[in-house]
Amino acid sequence: MSYEIALKCRECGRKFELLAIYSCEFCFGPLEVDYDYDQIKAKISKESIANGPSSLWRYEDLLPCDTSFKVDIGAGFTPLIKSQSLAKHLGLKNLWIKNDTVNPTWSFKDRVVSIAIARARQFGYQDLACASTGNLANSVSAHAAKAGMRALVFMPDDLESGKVIGSLVYNPILTMVDGNYDDVNRLCTELAASNNWAFVNINMRPYYAEGSRTLAFEVAEQLGWRAPDHCVVPMASGSLFTKIWKGFKELQHIGLINNLDTRMSGAQATGCSPISKAFQEGTKNFVPQKPNTIARSLAIGNPADGYYALKVMEETDGSAEMASDAEIVQGIKLLAETEGIFAETAGGVSVACLKKLVESGVISTDEETVLFITGAGLKTVEAVVDNMKPAIMISPKTEEFMDQFNKLK
Amino acid sequence: MTIKVKIPTPLRSLTQDQGLVSISATNVESAINELEKQFPGIKERVCEEDGSLRRFVNIYINGEDIRFLDDLQSSIKDNDEISIVPAVAGGTIEI
C-alpha cells in the first residue's frame, strides 16, 4: 500500500496531481511528493518493517509507488558496519559506515531507480531514460533490462570505462555527449519535453528522489530505531543529502524514532564544490561551477538541490567540506586499507571530508557518526591506478619470490 | 538595443503564445521590466517581490548563464539573444 497524495511545490507550496511533472507551473520550483502521514502512522510499525523483505521494499508504506509495479533486483538494505580501524585512525569513538557499494549495480542509485521505474510502469511508460554522471546510467540500464523496457541513457563522453561498460553490458541505447553533466542534463530536459520517455531524474524526479530516504530508514533501523549524532554524505545535486534528512524527520513524525538531533554535513570535491563553497562563505545562493575533478559522479556544477542542502546544514547545525583530487585518492586508499571497502571517488571525497571535519573539531570525538559510502571502487579504477604499490613480478620460482619478498622487509 | 528573448512554454500564455519576442533593453533587469510592460504578469513569474530572480529561473545571454556574467546587471548588445529558462534538476528547460 502506498500513501502519496499530491505533489507540492517546495518553493510556493502549490499542490499538483500525482503526474509525470517536476516543476511548479507558477514559480518553477521543484515538486516533492506529499504523503498522508496519519494513515502511514496507523499502518506501519517496527514489526511490520522487520517482517518485510531484506531490500528497500521493507519500507513500501513510505514509498511513492504502487509496489505491484516494482522491479526488484535487490536494491537496498545494505550493511551498516561498525568501524574499528578507520574510527581509531580518525580519532572517533563511534563511527559507522553505510556501505552502499553492495547494491545490484554497485551504487546507491539503485534505490532511486527502484522507485522511478515502478512509478514509470505505473504511468504506463515503455522507455526509461536518464541524464547521468555514470552510476545512474548503470542502474537505469540494469533495471530497464530486468523489466524488459528500453533504456536511453545519456552521459558525458569523458567518464571512466567502468561506468561506460557498466551500462553497455545491459544493452541500453547509450549516448555519450561532448560536454559536462550540466550540458547533458540540459539536453535531456529538452528531450524529455518532446519524447514520451520516463526520464528518471527529470519528469520522474519527484518520485525518484524519494528513494534516497531509504538510506535514512535503514540507518535508523540498523541502529535499533534511533538516529545518529552526525551524518557525512557526498553531494552532487544535493538531493541525496536533503532526502536522508527528510527520511529521519519522517521517522520521527510517524513515531518510529523519538529524538532527532542529527547534524548533517556534506562532502564535495574541491574541483566541483558549489554547495560547500557557498556554505563556507555563509550564503545559500551558490554560484554554479564548471567541474574539474576526478570525482566525476559528483561533478554537477549547477546542483538542483544545492539551496535545500544548505538549508539542511543550517537547520541541523551541520557543515560542509571539500577534498582535492589527491585527498580523494588518499581517502579511497584509507577506507580500503582500514575497513576493506573499495569505494569509488565519491567515497574518497566522503572519507577525506570526514577526516577534515574531525581534524577541525566540527565533529567531536564522541559524536556517533555515519559515513555514507555510495559507490564501488571498481567503477573508477582510473583514479587510483597510478597510486598503488606495485605487484611483485616473478617467474614461478621460490627463490625469486623469497628474494623479492625479503626486500620488502 | 533591440534584442530577442526566448520565452519558455510555461510563460507563453502571457505572450500570446509567442516563443520569441523582440524588445529594447540595455541589461537583463531592464529587459525584464520591458517584458512586464509588454506582457503584464510575466515579472512575478520570473522574479521575487524584491526584484531578484526566482531561485529556479535561469537567464542566459547567448547561451551563457548570467550568474557567470554580471547577474541582472549583465549588459546586452544589439542582436543578443536572452533565454529565460526554468531550472530543473540542476539543468534547464531550453525551448
Q: Band of the pLDDT at B68, cuts 50, 70, 90?
A: confident
- Considering only the beta carbons, identify the residue of B10, B90, B92 that sits closest to A303: B90
Q: What percent of chain A has pLDDT over 70?
A: 100
- Domain with B67, as residue range(s), is 2-92
Q: What percent of chain A has pLDDT over 90?
A: 93
**Looking at the predicted complex, does its ipTM rise above 0.85?**
no
Q: What is the CATH number of domain A4-72+109-208?
A: 3.40.50.1100
Burial of B23 (C-beta count, 10 Å sphere; 0-12/13-18/19+): buried
Please tell me the predicted confidence (pLDDT) of residue B90: 38
Taking CB atoms and an 8 Å cutoff, what residues of chain A touch B94?
Answer: 186, 189-190
B54 close to B46: Cβ distance less than 8 angstroms:
yes
Please tell me the predicted confidence (pLDDT) of residue A124: 98
Average pLDDT, chain A: 96
Count of domains forming chain B: 1
Q: Whole-prediction pTM value?
A: 0.92
Strand order across the A31-35 sheet: A15-16, A4-9, A31-35
Calculate mean pLDDT across residues B64-80: 91
Query: Amino acid identity of A341?
Result: I
- Considering only the beta carbons, identify the residue of A25, A185, A190 that sits closest to B90: A185
Taking CB atoms and an 8 Å cutoff, what residues of chain A touch B56?
Answer: 11, 23-24, 27-30
Question: Taking 60 as the threshold, does the pLDDT of residue A314 lie above it?
Answer: yes
Residue B88 touches chain A, beta carbons under 8 Å:
yes
- Considering only the beta carbons, identify the residue of B56, B67, B90 that sits closest to A29: B56
Q: Is there a shared CATH topology between the A4-72+109-208 domain and the A80-106+212-387 domain?
A: yes
Domain at B44, CATH number = 3.10.20.30
B59 close to B68: Cβ distance less than 8 angstroms:
no
Please report where in the chains the cell 544493452 appears, as a residue: A171
- Considering only the beta carbons, identify the residue of A30, A202, A288 that sits closest to B56: A30
What is the CATH architecture assignment of A80-106+212-387?
A: 3-Layer(aba) Sandwich (3.40)
Q: How far is C-alpha A323 from the chain's CA centre?
A: 18
B65 close to B92: Cβ distance less than 8 angstroms:
no
Question: Taking 50 as the threshold, does the pLDDT of residue A2 lie above it?
Answer: yes
Question: Cα(A371)–Cα(A388) distance, rounded to whole angstroms?
Answer: 24
From A66, A81, A18, A176, select the one nearest A373 (Cα to Cα). Answer: A81
Taking CB atoms and an 8 Å cutoff, what residues of chain A touch B9?
Answer: 193
Q: Band of the pLDDT at A190, cuts 50, 70, 90?
A: confident
Question: Taking 90 as the threshold, does the pLDDT of residue B93 lie above it?
Answer: no
Question: Taking 90 as the threshold, does the pLDDT of residue A97 lie above it?
Answer: yes
Taking CB atoms and an 8 Å cutoff, what residues of chain B touch A302?
Answer: 65, 87, 90-91
pLDDT in tens, A74-84: 999 999 999 99
Q: Is A268 helix (H, G, I), strand (E, B) or coil?
A: strand
For an interface test with B, the pick among A7, A9, A28 (most B C-beta atoms closer than 10 Å) comes out as A28
How many Cβ contacts (< 8 angstroms) between chains A and B?
A: 78
Residue ranges of the domains in chain A? 4-72+109-208, 80-106+212-387
Question: Cα(A47)–Cα(A58) distance, rounded to whole angstroms?
Answer: 11
pLDDT in tens, A7-61: 999 998 999 999 999 989 888 899 999 999 999 999 999 999 999 999 999 999 9
Please tell me the predicted confidence (pLDDT) of residue B65: 86
Question: Taking 80 as the threshold, does the pLDDT of residue A367 lie above it?
Answer: yes
